[in-house]
Amino acid sequence: MKGILEYSQGDTVIHRLNPLTKMLIALLLCMSSFLSNNLLAAAAIIALNVIIGHLAGIGKKALSIMATLLKLGAVLFLIQVLLIRTGDKVLDLPLNLYITNTGLKFSLLLVLRLVGATMPLVIMLTVTKMSDLTNVLVQKLHIPYKYAFAFITALRFIPIFEHEMNGIIEAQTARGVEFDTKNPVKKLKLVLPLCVPLLISSVKRIEGSAISAELRGFNVRKKNSGYKKYSFSLLDYSAVLVTVLVLIFSASIV
């Protein structure tokens, strides 16, 4: 499976949406996750994200993203549920710790919101070419190209850094380092020293990218330098309308 934020080619209905429409849909779904205090509504937003992932042809990746976020959410849940002391006790624990109904609901809602608000942005960035996103930010939102380029380049380097780190780990594994340990503390101690070679290779790559951009006339690029136009179709308006309805529905559920 491809790394996070790495572009996934396709000709699905989600791929054909305008890049700006995709970002707007992601923003509206993020807002929907926080507007309702209902657990079922928050879970429904997550299910909708999974459906969007399947429509975009990246269903397995959407499920993998959800599983990763749930693992992170489980840690936050355990911390949060033990810190909230208001409400009625539902479970007594040693060391004067206990779980309340208020803490349980709030912690579950926190995890669901984390998953529901993160998934749409990752999914939409996965099915959007970074070059298209840069151009549409400049053409439609009139953002200066230098700022749009800097922002998109930062996103583009995430999968590159991931591949670099995987390559370093594979090289160390071939030398006998046991990265498959299930002990998280031991694994963290093994991974932290690898940040130095990753940083060195990243600096070299960034310097090469800067030189390449200058040779291609980065400093003389203007708003109308791009040849591709990004018009809005009926599909874009329909997708935004459906997402707005989801937002209204989430806001109406208490």
| Structure-token match 């989801």, residue found | 246
Q: What percent of the chain has pLDDT over 90?
A: 30
What's the CA gap between 83 and 57, in Å, rounded? 40
Q: Which amino acid is at 149?
A: F
pTM metric for this prediction: 0.77
- How many residues appear in the chain? 254
Helix axes of 130-139 and 145-174: crossing angle, nearest 10 degrees: 160
Which residues, at least 6 apart from 159, have a Cβ–Cβ distance to it below 8 Å? 2, 3, 4, 5, 6
Q: What is the pLDDT of residues 109-157, one digit of tens each?
A: 999 999 999 999 999 989 998 888 888 888 888 888 777 777 777 777 7
Model pLDDT for residues 23-40, shown as the tens digit of each residue:
999 999 999 999 888 899
Question: How high is the pLDDT of residue 117?
Answer: 92
